[in-house]
A and B are shown apart, each in its own frame.
Chain A
Amino acid sequence: MSPTPAYITGMRPQDILLPVAAGLCCKPGGFHIDPVRPVERAVITHGHSDHARPGHGAVLATHETLDMMRLRYGENFAGSTQAIRYGEELRLGDVTVTFHPAGHVLGSAQIAVSCGGTCIVASGDYKDAHDPTCTPFELVPCDVFITEATFGLPVFRHGDAAGEVDKLLASVKLFPERAHLVGAYSLGKAQRLIALLREVGYDAPIYLHGAMEKITNYYVGRGVPLGELRAVKGVKKADLAGTITLAPPSATSDIWTRRFPDPVTAFASGWMRVRARARQRGVELPLVISDHADWDGLTKTIKATGAGEVWVTHGQEDALVHWCTAQGLRARPLDLVGYGDEDGDAALASSEAAEA
């Protein structure tokens, strides 16, 4: 798939993909990528609720993404569905579509759209860091690279997640009479954290908030080994001393926490890199573990794609566009709205209410 210069066909990139109110629209292919409103044909990068929404006519996504949507929205979340494998080529209208691993969560994909020799990669959310729970990020050479900018500032460097896991375990050791309550997004982050804990040899049971169970069981069912997991509901308070429980972030500061003995509140997120953000949430043990590329990851990836043009979306667009321009790349912010609220706080609130 060697890119052909666009001038040969006369097709401009914006003729292939264009930001509209519903999301990124591919006119020649007759579909939208990660639409935020119901559309006739949706092509979806991954299962987070800000990217995968219900109510579309037809949905094309990886098998795992479709399963996650089914888990969250029920059997009838779309008119029809079609699963696609990484690397599989599919003709849609006048364009060719291929999916490539994004390394973000299980089943997450970058979507390469080619038309008349021009290749645009819509990478969705991605990371290039180690994650035992999903297929590693794959670099896709392209003419136009559409990148997220969630952590698009040079202050965001996430370092080695294993170091953060050590920090958590050191705290468990130091406070054996307390429970450790770790806020983590329930799709992706939670399972990755469990897998990272298992990698360093932590083999005690890990407890789960009710809202985590379904999706975590799904990971296990897809062959991701996560060791012994237990529902925290119904466990006696005293028995939770010295244990680790994973919960949706919003649950870690509410009534639900009273079932734990003197809990240490941790939060696993790239945002924890900035102290004010951690304080604002009342976190006592910030763990800098991100499922998005950090600044170094974003800039390295952009360079490595060989793209001459970069479209920047959701996050710190200004800084990343500035960096691209300084590198001699054409760059512009894509004014897409509706992304960035990973796990859907509304969904969390209702699960919290049910738990409380």
Chain B
Amino acid sequence: MNRFAELLDRLSYEPGRNNKLRLITSYLHRAEDPDRGFALAALTGALSFKHAKPGLIRELIAARSDPVLFALSYDYVGDLSETVALMWPSSLPLPSGERSTGVAQRSRSGEGDLPDRTELTPSPGSRLAAQADLSPEGRGEERRRNDPTPTLTDVVTTLATLGKAELPAQLARWLDELDETGRWALLKLVTGSLRIGVSARLAKTAAAALGDKDPHDVELIWPGLAPPYLELFAWLEGRADKPVNRDPAPFRPVMLAHAIADADFGNLDAADYIAEWKWDGIRIQAVSGADQHGQIVSRLYSRTGEDITNSFPDLLPSLRRPGAIDGELLVLREGRVQTFNVLQQRLNRKTVTSKLLKEYPIHLRAYDLLSDGENDLRTLPFEARRGKLEAFIAELDDPRIDLSATIPFDDWERLSAARKDPVSAGAGLDADAVEGVMLKRRDALYLPGRPKGQWWKWKHDPHIIDAVLMYAQRGHGKRSSFYSDYTFGVWTDGEGGDVLVPVGKAYFGFTDEELLQIDRFVRRNTAEKFGPVRHVVHAPDQGLVLEVAFEGLARSPRHKSGVAMRFPRISRLRWDKPPRDADRLETLQRLLD
């Protein structure tokens, strides 16, 4: 448990994706079965047990500490699990040599004022794990005999079967046995608040790296695996064959498009391509299949393979026909596609209320068919798959699922016109939710990743405004020595004339060279510092104008300006432009109407 805790601890501070990967892979390499399997389950969110309530944790610490000292400590630390982890009375003597020997010869191992812990009994968890023989090579057992601290396996297997009444005493025993970091990780785990910035996808990628495998392959077999993933590790370490995915509704790695540039069209023949709208929703895969009892199992996956079924229960009844649809989740009201801002209300919700389902009815717009019943269609050309998709959707005949329409065109000019005016090119009243067009080769097989020359996305040109840099903040990780997060504003009427009002934040879009230039500008033109934030000089004739590109604008009562930008990024530095010539808030407000 302590080793897993060290990993979580390190991950919680590490901002870089590649470094996170390295940390996880290194842990999986060093840790033993089945511990590492349960760790992988914890990181991918595959562990499930009843969570302990904060009230229980409070009771445990209250029985072991002075209430005034606890209150002062909690106030200082600010997090319950962490406070308890840090101030839990320690039962382990410190290693000799740590404390110095002054004239008083005092040594901390005496600990006369702490309760006597010599009668520690082994936790039931270790016995349970031993009986279950989850450690085939016995390596874990070997270690456990010399080490009283619970393993992650002890914790997970015990929690799975532990009665509610036994939880407090068991938790207390574990807290006695673990060190500060171990206690912190345990409390985060049992209270279900393990947030360390690692996605399931990242954890699986780290596992794949253990055996130099393609993360897609791990993703493919994943639904058929269960913690502690012994067969997965056996395969990754070359000790066994690849596990077979027996899941009736597996995820298939997604095919993605390249952004098209003007120069690309010269090499492309319009006749080779089919075009359709690029809808501004959430790309998903909806998969249904029959299990061994003939029951239909349906799942929704994000484009990275995360199971998001539970967020969209309203779509499940429509997925009764075995197959795998590649499509876009949208919100439809009275037959009209709503903008992404509306769809956003359905995202990242902990609970899906019936009110939410009613106000934001979900819809699937189908782009592609990857399997039809038992038949894998991915090796067919797109045009053939499209035919199968049309038949599939027609037979399904469900109001919640429809076909993504194709755009008729003979040459690039016609398509360009359609892209500029989706309303009259067939998108009609749904045009607000169109973010461009997609081009797919008629003969393109469904290939995972971003294969060259097969699919292209041709997005709308972004909105562009000129805004003034107002505040700059230090970045994280590699950028921690750079002022790389910028708040920018536009002019509006103030009491004593024009004033700048912040309209957004951006932290990418610029080149490394531009970053250096802005950083230098920020350091030389700082009016005030507030902690990590610098107030950068911004007056009508003094300051830096940033050209900001963004995808859309929504009303936002939370922002002083009343607007919120979608996907803003710095597209150009306008050293040539005095701040007074930057855009005004009215320009943005017109975009809203």
Contacts and interface: CB of A to CB of B under 8 A. Distances in A.
Interface stretch (B92-100, B413-421, B494-502): B92-100
Contacts of B19: 175
Given A155-B87, A175-B19, A323-B69, A265 B101 contact: no
Q: Is the interface of A mostly helix, strand, loop or mixed?
A: mixed
Contacts, number: 121
Bin chain A's interface residue count: 35 or more
25 contacts: A103-B100, A103-B102, A136-B100, A137-B100, A138-B103, A139-B104, A153-B72, A155-B83, A159-B94, A162-B95, A162-B98, A174-B22, A175-B22, A257-B480, A265-B480, A274-B86, A275-B12, A276-B78, A276-B79, A278-B13, A300-B108, A319-B69, A322-B66, A322-B72, A323-B69
Contacts of B523: 255
B100 A129 contact: yes
A332 interface: no
A162 B99 CA distance: 12
Interface stretch (B231-239, B344-352, B471-479): B471-479
Interface string B312-335: 000000000000000000000000
A179 B102 CA distance: 38
B567 to A, nearest CB: 26
A117 B535 CA distance: 59
A155 B14 contact: no
B13 A279 contact: yes
A70 interface: no
Nearest to B532: A282
A346 interface: no
Given A154-B69, A284-B15, 11 more contacts: A157-B180, A159-B179, A162-B95, A174-B22, A255-B523, A258-B481, A283-B13, A286-B13, A304-B106, A319-B73, A322-B66
Contacts of A130: 97-100
A283 B474 CA distance: 13
A88 interface: no
Contacts of A323: 66, 69
A128 B99 CA distance: 6
A139 B76 contact: no
A285 interface: yes
B60 to A, nearest CB: 15
Per CB-CB distance, the 7 closest pairs between chain A and chain B, nearest first, are A139-B104, A136-B100, A155-B86, A138-B102, A154-B87, A257-B481, A155-B73
Contacts of A322: 66, 68-69, 72
B98 A326 contact: no
Interface residues of B, number: 47
Interface in B68-124: 68-69, 72-73, 76-79, 82-83, 86-87, 90, 94-95, 97-104, 106, 108
A131 interface: yes
Nearest to A282: B480
Interface string A152-164: 0111110111100
A256 B482 CA distance: 11
A262 interface: yes
A297 to B, nearest CB: 8
A159 B478 contact: no
A174 B523 CA distance: 34
Contact of A101 (B77, B102, B179): B102
Contacts of A296: 90, 108
Contacts of B13: 278-279, 283-286
A350 to B, nearest CB: 16
A160 B95 contact: yes
B517 interface: no
Interface string A254-290: 1111100010010000000111101100111110000
Nearest to A285: B13
Contact of B476 (A273, A276, A282): A282
A153 B478 contact: no
B90 A157 contact: yes
A304 B108 CA distance: 12
